Structures are given as structure tokens and as C-alpha cells.
Amino acid sequence: MISIPVLIILTIYVIATYNGLVRLRNGAKKSFATIDVMLKKRHDLVPNLIASVKQLMKHETSLFQSITELRTAAINSSGIQRADTEAQLGAALGQLTVSMENYPELKSDRSVMQLQASLNEVEEQIGASRTAYNAAVTRFNTKLESFPSSLIGKMFGFVAKDLFETSAAERGNVNVGELFNS
């Protein structure tokens, strides 16, 4: 028979472990929401950048159209499909940046330079947000998979979260020569 003090200690441990798992799960959710905020910020900047640059880069209409379509697709998708579309959008924005280098009048346009700097900052923030999310998910998953907290996690239906992984397109080598020719 279990004594009352042992039962009290066991109950306190279960409650503390449950609360710890909830805290870690919510931290992972918050980190993912930060990625979402940064992607929204990127999506808001893209039309402004394109509108500013379009007037000066009349020859790049297919690139503008591609970026616009990818932005719309990213906004309307979710999960793995959204991650892939966001990766394609990032690559297209990189192409735009390289293409802009060929237009000296863009380099001297203050609003274009400010928008480009803002976009670069957002891209860095997206990368930092992904890193923070993966750290939060790793902490949660480690706690969830460690004994004896794994027993409590299973008892209350906690499920491991997936890490934010780089798509195959983003992992590939960048062909800089191809970027300059497009």
C-alpha cells in the first residue's frame, strides 16, 4: 500500500511535469507564431518593393510575376506546401536582388534601397525565428521523450513536434552564374 506522503510527492511530480510540458509546448507554438509574423512582414514588403522597382526595371516582368504568384501561393497554403512555397519565394527574391545589381539607377534610388534593406533584415529575422523555433521544439521533444516525463506526456496525450527543416531547393548549391544570366 502506498503511503500518503509518497502519494502526495507523486502527485506533485505529475503536476509539475505536466505543467513543464505545457510550458514547453506553448513556447514552441509561440516560436512558430514568430515565424508566421516574419513571413507576413515579408509578404507585406514584397508588393512595395516590386512597385518601387517595376518602374525602373521594365525588362524583368516575368520575375515580378513569379514573385507575385509565389507570394499569393504562400499566403494561401499551409504546412509543408507553405514551407516549400516560402523557399521558392526566398529564392525568387534573391534573384530580384541580383537582378537589381544590373540597374545603376536602382542603386541610387533611396526608397528602393530602404525597401531592399528592410527585406534583407526580415530575411535575417526569419532565419533567427526558425532557429528559435527549432530550439523550442527540441527542448519540448527532449522533455517529452525523456523518462519518466515520457510516461506523463503519453498519459496526457502530448505529441512530439516536427522541426522546421530547410527544403531541398534551399539546401542546394546556388549557381551564381545562372542568377546573373537571368
DSSP tag of 139: H
Instruction: Tell me the range of 25-39, 88-102, 142-156 where mean pLDDT is highest.
Output: 142-156
- Give the mean model confidence (pLDDT) for residues 122-130: 87
Residue 108 confidence (pLDDT): 59
Distance CA 170, CA 87 (A): 6
Intra-chain end-to-end CA distance of the chain, in Å: 77
In a domain, residue 45? The reply is yes
Q: What is the DSSP string of 25-89?
A: HHHHHHHHHHHHHHHHHHHHHHHHHHHHHHTT-GGGHHHHHHHHHHHHHHHT--HHHHHHHHHHH
The tens digit of pLDDT for each residue in 44-83 reads: 887 777 776 666 666 567 777 888 888 888 888 877 777 7
Residue 80 lies in a domain: yes
Contact 23, 155 (CB under 8 A): no
> Quick check: is 2 in a domain?
no
The reported pLDDT for the residue numbered 171 is 52
Residue 52 located in a structural domain: yes
Q: Is residue 87 part of a domain?
A: yes
Model pLDDT, residue 121: 86
* pLDDT greater than 50 at residue 161: yes
Overall domain count for the chain: 1
Q: Does residue 157 sit within a domain?
A: yes
pLDDT digits (tens, 9 = 90+) for 18-47: 999 999 999 999 998 888 888 888 888 877
Domain that holds residue 44: 10-181
5 located within any domain = no
- Give the whole-angstrom CA distance, residue 173 versus residue 163: 22
Q: Which residues contact 68 (CB under 8 A, 6 or more apart)?
A: 46, 47, 50
Banded model confidence at residue 174, pLDDT cuts 50, 70, 90 = very low
Residue 1 CA, chain-centre distance (Å), reads 52
82: nearest Cα among 91, 73, 95, 93: 73
Tell me: the pLDDT tens digits for 103-112? Answer: 666 655 676 6
Residue 170 confidence (pLDDT): 54
Average pLDDT, the chain: 80
Cell of 55: 518602374
Identify whether 18 is part of a domain: yes
- As a whole number, mean pLDDT of residues 136-152 equals 95
